[in-house]
Every structure is written in structure tokens, then in C-alpha cells.
Amino acid sequence: MTEQSPEELVAEVRRWWSTGIIDVRPGEIALRGYPIQELIGDASLVETIWLMLRGELPTRAEAALLEAAMVASVDHGPQAPSIAIGRMAVTCGSPINAAMASAINVLDDVHGGAGQQCMELYLEIEGERDRSGGLDTAVGLVLQRRREAGLNYVPGFGHRLHPLDPRTPRLLALVDSGAAAGVVDGRFAAIGRAVEVALSTGKAARVPMNIDGATAVVYCELGLTPELGRGVFVLARSIGILAHAAEQLAQGGRIKGPTPKSVRYTYTGPARRPVPRDRDARRSAP
């Protein structure tokens, strides 16, 4: 191994981490080039999130739309596994940070990933529309491909609890207002609505767009990648997790499981039976 000069070692260390996000020097902090003291008191938290993720400050209208989607995703009650896990962790003695980490770690593909998956669906339809020329045709082709691949679940549509997710109409109305004002162009709102129509056609009941489908519309309209869409959802839901963990900490309780002790789980194993005394003989039998 060739020995490096002190100057080369310093240069290697400086190259080790490379970032365009923050520049910290003695007495100076700048986020994407903006001095932190100028952002404090002027830029909102949501505007700062946009700045950190996108590299530039948003317009006030863009920030308002992003904020609306994040507010809609903050909480969905203790029946949501992530919230329940945060509360249970507190009763097991975990501090707030550990409870939040435990809860956030389950926001994966099944619980927490539908928004990203729906964004990917919308973007696939958008690409297909560019090739086929029509929105309804593109929706039909993409949904057919999903069915042929055995993917019968369409992320972002239908809800186990809400016949109509109360968050969806409000978010779509804000997107429509943004499109009318030129903040967004509205094409992903049109895609989401077209998917809803296609899924509901021939069904006895409507298959409505849920919060994941609606926030996917917002995040696609604002130009976020699907990965960033999931990340922003996790940021929003972490607020609800924090609130529930703090509430449980105040309420107290010790080692609370997923159900009360009076509610038994379902046992499906063998009936009670004696331990056999001839185990060795039984194993050696032909």
C-alpha cells in the first residue's frame, strides 16, 4: 500500500462524505446554501422539509399542499399496528425514542408502503398513457398487467373501516384548487380518479380512493419520487406515534399486550396430552 502524504490523507477524509445538503463551519450553518438564522422564523417546518429533500424552497402554495397531505397522515388510531406498537413499547419500559423507533420500523411494505406503491402505479399509468395516448386505455392496460401478474390488490383504493375515507375528498379538492391556480397540473388527480372508476365498474359498491391513493396524488403532483413519498408519510405518522407514546407514558400501565387479559387468543394446536415416557423407543421404531 502506497503511503499517503498528509495532504492526500486530508483530501481523502474530505471526500469520504459528500453532501449538498448542509454546510457547517465554526459559527456558520447553511441548509442548501441558506443561512440557518435566516430560515429560522421565516421558513416553516414543511418548507424546510421540502428544502432538505428537493434542494430549493417551495412556493407557499406548494408547501401548503404538502402540509395538507402530511396532516392527513398523522394518525389513524391505536388499531394501526405502528401506533399500538409505540404504546405497547412504552408500557414495557421503553423511552420515547425507542418506542418511536419500534413503531416506525413496522412501517414497511404491508403497513405503511401503500402510498409509495400507489405512486408507482400512477407513474406506470402515466408512462403507459404517453405510449397509448389515452388515460382510460392506459389504466386498463396497467390494471390488466397487475391481474395477470397475480396482483389483485390495488394499493390506494378501498378501506377496511371507511366506506369513504373522509380525508380523500378534502385532499383532492385542494389538488383541484392547486391545478386551477397553476400550482400543479392535475394529471395525477385525473389518473387516480380514472383508477377509481375502473375498479368500481361492474361492482355492486364503489371502490373509493383512500388516504394512500390521495396522498399519492399529492406527492406525484408535487414531483416527489415514490421513495420520498413513503419517507414523508413516515415523517407525518411519527407525529401521531409520538403523541400516542407520550399519552401512554402519562397514563401509565405495565406490559400491556395487544389485547386485554380477558380476551384470549385462538389456540389451534393439539389438545392437552401426557408427555410420552417411551420417546426413545418411539423414535427408533421402523
| pTM reported for the whole predicted model | 0.92
Residue type, 133: G
Model pLDDT for residues 182-194, shown as the tens digit of each residue: 999 999 999 999 9
pLDDT for res 283:
63
Query: 60-258 has which fold?
Result: Cytochrome p450-Terp; domain 2 (1.10.230)
> Cα separation of 93 and 96, whole Å?
9
For residue 285, pLDDT over 60 is answered with no
pLDDT at position 146, please? 95
What's the whole-number average pLDDT of the chain?
95
pLDDT number for residue 279 = 81
Number of H helices, E strands in the chain: 13, 3
Half-sphere CA count of 260, side-chain side, radius 13 A: 2
Which pLDDT belongs to residue 284?
58
Q: Yes or no: say if 59 and 183 are a contact pair by the CB < 8 Å rule.
A: yes
Name the nearest CA neighbour of 102 among 81, 133, 120: 81
Residue 34 parent element (H or E)? strand 34-35
Domain segments of the chain: what residues? 19-58, 60-258
Digit-coded pLDDT (tens) for 78-130: 999 999 999 999 999 999 999 999 999 999 999 999 999 999 999 999 999 98
Which residues make Cβ contacts (< 8 Å) with residue 91, sequence separation at least 6? Answer: 248, 253, 254, 255, 256
Residue 275 predicted with pLDDT over 70:
yes
pLDDT digits (tens, 9 = 90+) for 21-75: 999 999 999 999 999 999 999 999 999 999 999 999 999 999 999 999 999 999 9
Cell numbers that stand for 101 in this block: 423507533
Q: Report the pLDDT value the prediction gives residue 224, as an integer from 0 to 100.
A: 98
Average pLDDT over residues 271-280: 90
pLDDT for position 1: 58
Question: In the chain, pLDDT over 70 holds for what percent of residues?
Answer: 98
Please give the helix or strand (H or E) that residue 144 lies within, else none. helix 135-148
